[in-house]
Structure 1
Amino acid sequence: MSLLSVKCKLIPDASTAEKLSRTVNQFANACNYALQIARRDNVWNKFALQRAVYQELRERFGLTANLAIRAIARVGKRKGHRAGGFKATSVDYDQRILSVNLEKEVVSLSTVDGRVKVPMRIAGYQRHLLRTAKSIQGGQLVRGRDSWYIHLWCEYDDPPTVNPDGFLGIDLGIVNIATDSDGETYSGRHLNSVRHRHRRLRRKLQKKGTKSARRLLKELSGKEKRFANHTNHTVSKRIVAKAQRTGRGIALEDLRGIRERVRLRKPQRATLHRWAFHDLGQKLRYKAERSGVALVWVDPANTSRQCPACGHTEKANRPTQALFRCVVCGCSGPADYFAACNIASRAAVNQPNAGV
């Protein structure tokens, strides 16, 4: 069983848009109030926090019973984040306060001003996803800069995972977004050039500091995120299709915590910080689940320093970022490709558990 978020654009009239705006604002205010109480009293358990703030969220912020519960649930996930609060950008919904009529292309939502029905714009691919879903578990109302969206959480029955005949190792990188153990590279050159161009423009706009400069900075951020998201979707789709076509599983490095472990020179830090490897991993995971392709995560230690021929591991095996040359047996070639081969080998030998 897997969950997939399906994004559809909403087309509210002026009156409905005002109700949605008030709901988003009050929901954020309620979340921030509950967060303040949770931090003050160190109460993060969902039920304990509910006893502490539920009634006040309903009376003070005008939330319905279910919206108050959703606000408390969102705050409960914030444990450990000691700084910052919630912005007025979205509201969480469950099945009791959200329903969808696909035929009429309408979503019904609970607001602080009562129930509203909002027309949706459903594209062909979204319609297919919604029709094939086992159920809609809820969703998230999102306020954009000039528009409204609903992200519907759809539940699907996954096909049985096929027992893989070997693994396609994937080495994630910055110069190349990914390289597989067949030697195919998925270049990140275009994405990196866009990021470098945006970084230079951000510096200029931040230095300028005017109102129009701040507006442009927001637009720039959204544009870059959308482009990176599209690139990761494209790359993950190609990788999963290749694994499915060849009857193999997919093997990835477990890169959790890499930003804290890796030490880089200052010019490289911004590139690493904006490297969306986790997002690409998540897209590979859910696409693999929906295609019946096994996906496993392996230990990333020394995958780029280990010789795939003789197994010798040494830092000197990497004379440059792009080249691998074993100091013992002389085996040489592209470093990313050799790393992907090592990842595939580890998956085949260790058969680690699937998951993140």
Structure 2
Amino acid sequence: MKLIVRVRLLPSLDQAAALARTLRACNEAATWVSEVAFEKDAKNNFALRRLTYAEVRTTWGLGAQAAQHVVKKTCDAYAALRANLKAGNLGRPGSHRRRRVIEKPIVFRVDGAQPYDDRMLSWQIAGRRISIWTTAGRMKDVEFTASPEQLTTLARYRKGESDLVCRDGLWFLLATCEVPEAPPNTEPADFLGVDLGIVNIATTSDGEIMAGRELNRIRVRERKLRTTLQKKNTPSAKRRMKKRRRKELRRAKDINHKIAKHVVAEAERTGRGIALEDLTGIRERVRLRKPQRATHSSWAFAQLGQFIAYKARRAGVPVVYVDPAYTSRTCAECGHCDRANRVSQAWFACRSCGFVDHADRNSSRNIRARAWELWRCGALSTAPVSLPRQRSGTGRKRSATASGARCASQGPRVPGG
């Protein structure tokens, strides 16, 4: 499977300036190539290269490989745009949002990521140095830092391109690695059901609750602080907002990594598979009151589902997505389904047999049962297509069919039931 390893570069002031000029030149060239592609309707790599390659090299002073990557990056951006339009992710035909993206060419940020291949970038992993192409020439002995695990992964499995990224003044390289997968467990003893929620981020069918109360309190505090700073609108308030803008995102990502790692380790230890809800499209269907919208939209449930799926794939643990409909209303003991069974957010009480349990644990048991039934009917394990990123060592309900399971790359979106 493909894994992205992020390492942090430690360039000197002169080296950082050269990298910044390189990113700016590449992205300005990509924006011009995008305008040509839009005007000429030439979105094919070879056709667009014939129109723009020479101009990119002479005007922006890019090398041969860099110029080709600029053209390819532009074509990939338009391919991603077409895929999003086809999937309906940018609104309905004729909507303002859809017209806004299709009536003008794509524009690249001046500090956007730039791909590098092995001709433009070489690694000295033992010495923690890289040699990288810039518009000012080849720059050697650029230091980078990484954890021992990352260095081992890079040395053994690095393959393909790496992306140069500047984020808040810090420089990173995102290296693609082909990591071997563990042999898949084709005969799991059972499934570990996982109910994803907002109040409780994840609840397993074993009864373990990974609560999100602390994270939700932090999000409320951050949201209030942002509101206060936006109202002040002073230069110091803007500096503080800029400094804190990714803090909440990093914290949520770290928590999701820890939860996913724990769930996969428990399933691997007990020889079970993992059952998740297929919650795709719930954002578009659920109507919420205004005070609930921010909490609902800020929850990184899809990210947690993807983390669980790719970690499970690496460990050889099967993952099955199930239909989440009525899992919170159905009794895990007798199967009776009634809206009145859900007496509160936290508790479930069956009106038929009298069974009482924590609501999320009852839902996770129903998810486990549905996954086991799907597996016995011949459903296959699903796995993500996207490239998961290995964390840096420097700090850091749509229904499933009855005969199969949904691809994990599209991940869950919100709690079911």
Kept in 2, the 8 Å contact 1:172–1:277? The answer is yes
Describe how 1:184-199 pairs up with structure 2 within 5 A: 184-199=208-223
Could you tell me which residue of structure 2 aligns to residue 135 of structure 1?
158
Are residues 41 and 175 of structure 1, via their aligned partners in 2, closer, same or farther at CA, if it must alter by over 3 Å? farther
Are residues 16 and 190 of structure 1, via their aligned partners in 2, closer, same or farther at CA, if it must alter by over 3 Å? same
In the alignment, structure 2 segments of 5+ residues that lack a partner are 91-99, 384-407, 409-417
Could you tell me which residue of structure 2 aligns to residue 75 of structure 1?
77
Could you tell me which residue of structure 1 aligns to residue 182 of structure 2?
159
Number of aligned residues: 354
- 1:215 paired to 2:248: no
SS in 2 for 1:301: coil
Could you tell me which residue of structure 2 aligns to residue 103 of structure 1?
126
SS in 1 for 2:193: strand
Moved more, 288-297 or 239-248: 288-297
Distance in 1 separating the partners of 2:278 and 2:40 = 36
Can you list the C-alpha shifts for 1:210-229, whole angstroms capped at 9, x where unaligned? 22212211222221111111
Are residues 331 and 150 of structure 1, via their aligned partners in 2, closer, same or farther at CA, if it must alter by over 3 Å? same
Can you list the C-alpha shifts for 1:33-56, whole angstroms capped at 9, x where unaligned? 334444455554444444444444
Moved more, 297-306 or 340-349: 297-306
SS in 2 for 1:78: helix
Using the size of structure 2 for normalisation, the TM-score is 0.79
Q: 1:148 aligned to 155, 166, 171, which one?
A: 171
Kept in 2, the 8 Å contact 1:34–1:75? The answer is no
Kept in 1, the 8 Å contact 2:5–2:177? The answer is yes
Moved more, 268-277 or 75-84: 75-84
Distance in 2 separating the partners of 1:201 and 1:142 = 28
Amino acid aligned to 1:273 = S
Could you tell me which residue of structure 1 aligns to residue 4 of structure 2?
5
- 1:251 paired to 2:275: yes
Could you tell me which residue of structure 1 aligns to residue 321 of structure 2?
297
Could you tell me which residue of structure 2 aligns to residue 59 of structure 1?
58
Amino acid aligned to 1:303 = T
Aligned-pair CA distance for 1:22:
1.0
Could you tell me which residue of structure 1 aligns to residue 411 of structure 2?
none
Could you tell me which residue of structure 2 aligns to residue 173 of structure 1?
197
Kept in 1, the 8 Å contact 2:5–2:176? The answer is yes
Amino acid aligned to 2:351 = V
SS in 2 for 1:107: strand
Distance in 2 separating the partners of 1:314 and 1:215 = 52
Can you list the C-alpha shifts for 1:162-215, whole angstroms capped at 9, x where unaligned? 222111111111111100110101111121111110000000011111222122
Using the size of structure 1 for normalisation, the TM-score is 0.91
SS in 2 for 1:128: helix
Are residues 312 and 129 of structure 1, via their aligned partners in 2, closer, same or farther at CA, if it must alter by over 3 Å? same
- 1:311 paired to 2:335: yes
Can you list the C-alpha shifts for 1:248-272, whole angstroms capped at 9, x where unaligned? 1111112222221222111111112
Amino acid aligned to 1:5 = I
Q: What percentage of aligned pairs have identical amino acids?
A: 43
SS in 2 for 1:293: coil
Aligned residues: CA RMSD: 2.2
Kept in 2, the 8 Å contact 1:95–1:136? The answer is no
Can you list the C-alpha shifts for 1:321-352, whole angstroms capped at 9, x where unaligned? 22222333332321111111111111111123
Are residues 68 and 331 of structure 1, via their aligned partners in 2, closer, same or farther at CA, if it must alter by over 3 Å? farther
In the alignment, structure 1 segments of 5+ residues that lack a partner are none
Are residues 302 and 56 of structure 1, via their aligned partners in 2, closer, same or farther at CA, if it must alter by over 3 Å? farther
Could you tell me which residue of structure 1 aligns to residue 345 of structure 2?
321
Can you list the C-alpha shifts for 1:294-313, whole angstroms capped at 9, x where unaligned? 12222222222222223233
Amino acid aligned to 1:86 = F
Moved more, 30-39 or 2-11: 30-39
Amino acid aligned to 1:78 = L
Kept in 2, the 8 Å contact 1:255–1:300? The answer is yes
Are residues 166 and 111 of structure 1, via their aligned partners in 2, closer, same or farther at CA, if it must alter by over 3 Å? same
- 1:21 paired to 2:20: yes
Moved more, 243-252 or 146-155: 146-155
Runs ≥4 residues deviating over 6 A: none
Can you list the C-alpha shifts for 1:10-37, whole angstroms capped at 9, x where unaligned? 1112222111101111222233333444
Amino acid aligned to 1:281 = G
Could you tell me which residue of structure 2 aligns to residue 345 of structure 1?
369
Moved more, 216-225 or 303-312: 303-312
Aligned-pair CA distance for 1:232:
0.9
Moved more, 328-337 or 205-214: 328-337
SS in 2 for 1:312: coil
Kept in 1, the 8 Å contact 2:158–2:175? The answer is no
Kept in 2, the 8 Å contact 1:31–1:75? The answer is no
